[in-house]
A = this chain, B = another copy of it.
């Protein structure tokens, strides 16, 4: 295109525009479409390490709540303000069973039951009327999850197949980001940013191989969607599938992958939930997985993984000076600066935004299903004892003559993804074997 065909420059005055955020996908309060959708799934609310002997104030989906472990080791998640006169249960006294409001001694069990209303007589009618708002919780491998939806619609707590690996250990972490959840979440269906933000803009921030140009496809999965990234690296073809487990979980492959040796159906390095704290704050909570297979060069740093800390760059504001963040921006700078809530109506999306667009469509579809009274899919384990997922890396040798062209990479990516998607009723070893067989059979 010649310069003449382009719009003229210096149009700042004429381009000042205002538009509202897409509330259907971004607002998460009680009663909002997306907030209701989020409330149909188990969500992480805190790390176990945060929960000591004192109550902990937590904030999720626009609600401020009090989380505590009683002296019988049962965990409760209650509405912040005591049903009696409204004092905060963060100042409650943890009891053998439940918690006692400091002000007048109203005593609640972990499910909100009013055990004793302070100085009220035991036969007071108050016991028939009052129950403190409470949510079910489930503590699992260092993370406290809660279900904030309608009492009758609580799904079973899902454990994912990637958690059951014998060759990797987990470490829980959290990262808080001051922007809307969708900006953080959709970044994982935007593989092109890896090339720009994490390689060209800022120097290589992850494995050098991730900076190599790629062929990208997208597919739906039973849990949401995957993107399929295929790259040619030296003698190898590397196919990564990155996964969105709706509404707000993600699995991502080895962050330091260099595609230097063959590997098949190698599972994720991260399982995380981008949890809306409120409309303009997100707390990502999840696990980093560590194991030799995921980290051949020994770049992982488990000691840096924990509360508000992770072992890769660019995830928080405080870790670096403003100047450093300007010189080598990371996900934090790119996402947070999209505004507190990014305004989709002001965007100019192009072909490389296909994954983001698809994820938004899928979320919108589910949100509208729920609003229309239909059920929304929840993770299922098909009797396998864990919910099968679709995240993996496969690196195989390229046996064709010359370098693979784009069509060849696209073919290989699709074949790997198809094998991964179609093997989900098999045990993990069988799935890995199927992908290996496919590669040994076809990559030539």
Residues of A whose CB lies within 8 Å of any CB of B are 1, 3, 5-16, 30-31, 39, 54-55, 63, 65, 77-79, 81, 83-88, 90-91, 93, 100, 102-105, 109, 111-114, 117-124, 126-131, 133-136, 148-151, 190, 192-193, 195-197, 200-202, 213, 323, 325-327, 329, 333-335, 337-339, 342-343, 346-353, 356
Q: How far is the CA of A231 from the CA of B329 in the complex (A)?
A: 60
Residues of B contacting A11 in the complex (Cβ-Cβ under 8 angstroms): 112, 131, 133-134, 151
A443 to chain B, nearest CB (A): 26
User: Which one of A8, A113, A119, A136 has the highest number of Cβ atoms from chain B below 10 Å of its Cβ?
Assistant: A119
Q: How far is the CA of A5 from the CA of B124 in the complex (A)?
A: 12
A119, B149: Cβ atoms under 8 Å?
A: no
B16, A200: Cβ atoms under 8 Å?
A: no
The 10 sampled A-B contact pairs (Cβ below 8 Å) are A9-B113, A10-B136, A13-B39, A16-B63, A86-B343, A87-B335, A91-B337, A102-B329, A119-B352, A120-B351
Residues of B contacting A6 in the complex (Cβ-Cβ under 8 angstroms): 113-114, 127-128, 131
Residues of B contacting A339 in the complex (Cβ-Cβ under 8 angstroms): 81, 86
11 additional contacts (CB under 8 A) given A10-B134, A81-B346? A1-B123, A12-B65, A13-B150, A13-B151, A54-B327, A85-B353, A91-B325, A104-B352, A119-B213, A120-B350, A124-B350
A215 to chain B, nearest CB (A): 11
> CB-nearest residue of chain B relative to A16?
B30
Q: How far is the CA of A114 from the CA of B87 in the complex (A)?
A: 49
A79, B15: Cβ atoms under 8 Å?
A: yes
A126, B5: Cβ atoms under 8 Å?
A: no
A85, B9: Cβ atoms under 8 Å?
A: no
Q: Which residue of B30, B81, B190 contacts A338 across the interface (Cβ within 8 Å)?
A: B81
Residues of B contacting A131 in the complex (Cβ-Cβ under 8 angstroms): 6-9, 11, 15
> CB-nearest residue of chain B relative to A56?
B326
Q: How far is the CA of A327 from the CA of B54 in the complex (A)?
A: 8
A147 to chain B, nearest CB (A): 9
B151, A112: Cβ atoms under 8 Å?
A: no
CB-based closest 10 A-B pairs: A9-B111, A88-B337, A105-B196, A15-B133, A91-B329, A12-B133, A7-B131, A103-B334, A102-B201, A86-B338
B84, A347: Cβ atoms under 8 Å?
A: yes
Residues of B contacting A54 in the complex (Cβ-Cβ under 8 angstroms): 323, 326-327
Q: How far is the CA of A160 from the CA of B11 in the complex (A)?
A: 28
B149, A13: Cβ atoms under 8 Å?
A: yes
